Structure 1
């Protein structure tokens, strides 16, 4: 641990630099951070980074391109506080401050404002099956901390907002191919064109690999994505986004108990249609209306067995779901120093998954929200952000979600922030109504009852206190962002393993989701440094320490006590460049597991990702060739499958170690 705890001298030196800057500069001397990005996700108001009510990390297009990563989830490893791991090649476990279930739902994930959470059964995000290519991303804004007052219950601990490129940006074609170890074989193409009135961007990709070397976890994804922007008038713009992803994934293990997680190949289909209208009455006023519809379906079936009495027992997790969401928003200025945004949102989710709900169709889920955020410059140096959201669903009481932040621009290069926020987390359908039973297909005898419903469980709540500092050190061309947090979660949902309420044929227990009777408290500090020690060198340094407090030891293990990363981007001239990322992750038990008595956490590990690239021009076309490698260095395990890990044959040996992967990429601008 000593390696990751900042020495007291470093903290004192930082305090001295900050205090010195505050003494020798004033807010009026020069604009604060002329090159700081404008962010949209913290309050729904466009505002410079130093005025945002909370900590926001921005991954821009250049940085995303420089990493060479094939998926969005791996990018999030380079954000302070994010805890990301892979149980297998295509299964990403993405959380902010850990604590997530097997299918984490504690952070809201958006694509151009559209939630990509699966409303069906388990919830969560299929990160490897998003109807989106990495190439079409303009930037990713990560709000590090509770933001439910802007985006509702799923923003319980944070927001990941993926913003795509406008269709009129960089017209022309683009083709990219990857080939490498583990049968990596990707092909992607994009085209953008149009005129001043209408633009179209069309992207398509086929992504293939065999996953980790020791597992049955290949994946084959095909996707098509469309964005079109129509300038209907000087004040009105319509945006249409449509996407479809079709995926096949290999799952399971050959020796799971009774074949409860046997090897098989599942298929998923994800389609979305999203329409956005914006009307602008000036630089300080905008009306926006959004309507989207998502459809997801999946086929995941296999045969279990408990010989000799029950040689073949059909099981499945087949599911189909539909989400319809409408939203209205109005942003305007109340005066020269005050801006306000307010809006309304309504949603309906429908799910059909017979086996997961004892043959019954769960009721449709409706959700309604009203939200508002106000930003007020009380003085040139002091800004106050106030926000509130009221959320109501049929089976829960109305939830009031407040937030209050104050930002003090102490000097031209230093801003301090302090705030409080509350959030509630909507429980997914499976938490409330999940009822899974396994029957003998011949005798109809009840063999096992893995899950039983508990609709009476309460909705979790978090109260967050935050102190922060955002500063610029011009001598080093460096930016530092520090966040100190205290997150107190009450009614945290855990999985309780109990005896079945009625006799079952196999010696297996059942489980249900219940509330932890005592609070879970996460306290800690996050630090992010961006600096340019030389003109062609950029460093990104992230460090997080978390003190986890809960009466249930299995809950504390679901958060790693520390995470640190260092990313080095270097330009060499002649079109050559390199990117190197070093990640250190503390011990982490992803999810809650199911096997009684199996308390397992993956050990701390260090991993390295490398990329070497060269850009050049041939025949008037820009070309980039790159050699990429991930999971380099010592072998490691990131997220364990506890049911498999606790089998006697695997005790003491990671059952699903991450595999080093390397590939060569070729990108051509047409």
Structure 2
């Protein structure tokens, strides 16, 4: 019965991104359990049929994740229209949606079971190597394409990636896997779970490593431990708790650069989360969540300054400096986050549902070099949010909501949204949505004050605090069309968008006002953050999915986009055309085959002319064979990536050659 329930859930999830699944499970009447499917959970914080959501949502389930052959969650997001993903330096994943990204994802929110993965440190964004979740434990990934700050705050100005892991009740008792390949690929994972009455526990240990790009010092080794527990207190209340730790060793640096020499850095993230839910009706629920997270990085190296080449003998004597000075450059940091959220979901009547709540978050950052202080920098964020779904008639759904957010670095801002969905019939919906959102400055953008000193003298000053930095403002409007032709097992999700970002926070080199404050007279500029240019992204993206059989699917996703800006560097930060084709089929003999092909126009992650990546394509293939050993299930599989040509990733100097790896997975 448990397996029947899991298969039914997977069927429902497939319907989120495609046409309904095929007839093998259709004989089972699930309408009473699933109701008006498909549903999404993260678009407005209300559980909604996709046709009622206030924006376009792509949902990727376990079968599609496994068929992709991806080793990184960031690589999975290439399946989503409008998304691009790459490897910066070979060991650092980078993901962008509609450009303006560089090597971070500063305008995207990523949630893992409700816990924000947005890092408060440096330029802000997502540390994709530190998410703390194993791909095999993911139940589904919901991607809201477009601004969703009305539901999730300032970091969600251009999208939300919500990752939901499987409950401990739905996990295998024991599972193990290992995959090996070229470029030093060696991934190993072991998990176990137990259920006792209302309590379920799952523990996972995972290690991932590879050598990065050829001829580059950028390999990585990531070790992860994760615990999830689910406890059904009674018929109305349940607890969910998570705890984990991720430890990443990353090689970085360049042999020819004294300021960035080859070295191994270490980043650690540990977290714990507790969520209590009480449901007092079909759509009425209280939820309280608290999580604590620690993140640290160790990164230090020795640098030699030939002072006699840049300073006169008189200056050396005045400051008591030697002709050559050796310093330890330590950019290590520690951050701590505490977050509390309370949420109430209510059904007012048959036409109106609401969700409202509040949250408080505090980040503490200790980074002596970057902030030029031994004191801990503390920033706080307070949120109050509300979203309502109103159905004035059978053919209409109205979503309206707002987030009021007070950030200690940027004051109070309100992010509203309104969306109107008109159902042409039971299978077709047209949507018009408008939103306004704000991205608050990060502590680094606002407060960075990096100085390299010796005996109280400033050797070099590279960053200074910003003056009167305001939040970025994003205004978006979209026209969407969703067709779900169930009898044909076909779906089409189309989104036309116009997104304008004003007051972009960007770097600016300014003259040093008092050159004698530093000993190096050759450096007369310092970097700071300012509200600079504007950018406007317009275009069309769609995803067509056809599922002729329960065991097969074919998907076509395309994005056509134009970026206009008063800064020409912004216009190339995303490809003008991107195409993704995926197909998969499971044969009766236990053999499964999947194929993915990606084509991208030229773009520039770094937004500098010399770093433009030419148009390229990439082909991935996966073939596997599933079989049973007694009561356990196993699969052997092989994956080939970057087939067809050598592609530039992130920068022209990083060439991604063909990768091959094979693996064995066993579940009991």
| TM-score (structure 2 length as normaliser) | 0.89
Is 1:377 matched with 2:391? yes
Q: 1:361 to 1:83 in 2, by over 3 A?
A: farther
CA distance in 2, matches of 1:214, 1:580: 29
CA distance in 1, matches of 2:105, 2:171: 36
Structure 1 residues 89-104: aligned runs within 5 Å: 89-104=90-105
Structure 1 residues 502-521: aligned runs within 5 Å: 502-503=514-515, 504=518, 505=520, 507-508=522-523, 509-516=525-532, 518-521=533-536
Answer whether contact 2:415 2:435 (CA < 8 A) is retained.
yes
Answer whether contact 2:288 2:342 (CA < 8 A) is retained.
yes
Is 1:568 matched with 2:583? yes
Structure 1 residues 133-532: aligned runs within 5 Å: 133-256=134-257, 259-307=258-306, 309=308, 310=324, 312-361=326-375, 363-439=377-453, 441=454, 445-474=457-486, 476-503=488-515, 504=518, 505=520, 507-508=522-523, 509-516=525-532, 518-532=533-547
Structure 1 residues 57-96: aligned runs within 5 Å: 57-96=58-97
What secondary structure sits across from 1:367 in the alignment?
strand
Aligned to 2:633: 622
Is 1:541 matched with 2:556? yes
Answer whether contact 2:556 2:581 (CA < 8 A) is retained.
yes
CA distance in 2, matches of 1:144, 1:415: 17
CA distance in 2, matches of 1:666, 1:85: 26
What secondary structure sits across from 2:603 in the alignment?
coil
What secondary structure sits across from 1:162 in the alignment?
strand
1:559 to 564, 571, 574: 574
CA distance in 1, matches of 2:612, 2:449: 27
Query: Displacement, 1:444?
Result: 5.6
Unpaired stretches in structure 2, ≥5 consecutive residues:
1-30, 309-323
Query: Displacement, 1:360?
Result: 4.5
Query: Displacement, 1:612?
Result: 0.8
Is 1:612 matched with 2:623? yes
Query: Displacement, 1:101?
Result: 4.2
Between 324-333 and 199-208, report the one with greater CA deviation: 199-208
What secondary structure sits across from 2:612 in the alignment?
coil
Answer whether contact 1:86 1:658 (CA < 8 A) is retained.
no
CA distance in 2, matches of 1:445, 1:170: 59
Answer whether contact 1:494 1:592 (CA < 8 A) is retained.
no
Deviating beyond 6 angstroms after TM superposition, the runs of 4 or more aligned structure 1 residues are none
What secondary structure sits across from 1:260 in the alignment?
coil
Query: Displacement, 1:436?
Result: 1.5
Cα deviation digits, residues 263-304 of structure 1 (max 9, x gap)? 110001100000000000011200000000000011011123
Cα deviation digits, residues 212-249 of structure 1 (max 9, x gap)? 12211111111110110111111100101111011110
Aligned to 1:588: 603
Query: Displacement, 1:536?
Result: 4.0
CA distance in 2, matches of 1:553, 1:502: 32
What secondary structure sits across from 2:587 in the alignment?
strand
Cα deviation digits, residues 585-638 of structure 1 (max 9, x gap)? 222222456xxxx65322221111111111011233211001012222211212
Answer whether contact 2:407 2:440 (CA < 8 A) is retained.
no
Q: 1:397 to 1:535 in 2, by over 3 A?
A: closer
Q: 1:36 to 1:582 in 2, by over 3 A?
A: farther
Query: Displacement, 1:579?
Result: 1.3
Query: Displacement, 1:200?
Result: 0.5
Is 1:633 matched with 2:644? yes
What secondary structure sits across from 1:453 in the alignment?
coil
Query: Displacement, 1:104?
Result: 2.3
Q: 1:390 to 1:308 in 2, by over 3 A?
A: closer
Answer whether contact 2:572 2:607 (CA < 8 A) is retained.
no
Query: Displacement, 1:311?
Result: 5.7
Query: Displacement, 1:34?
Result: 8.2
Answer whether contact 1:610 1:629 (CA < 8 A) is retained.
yes
Between 525-534 and 384-393, report the one with greater CA deviation: 525-534
| TM-score (structure 1 length as normaliser) | 0.89
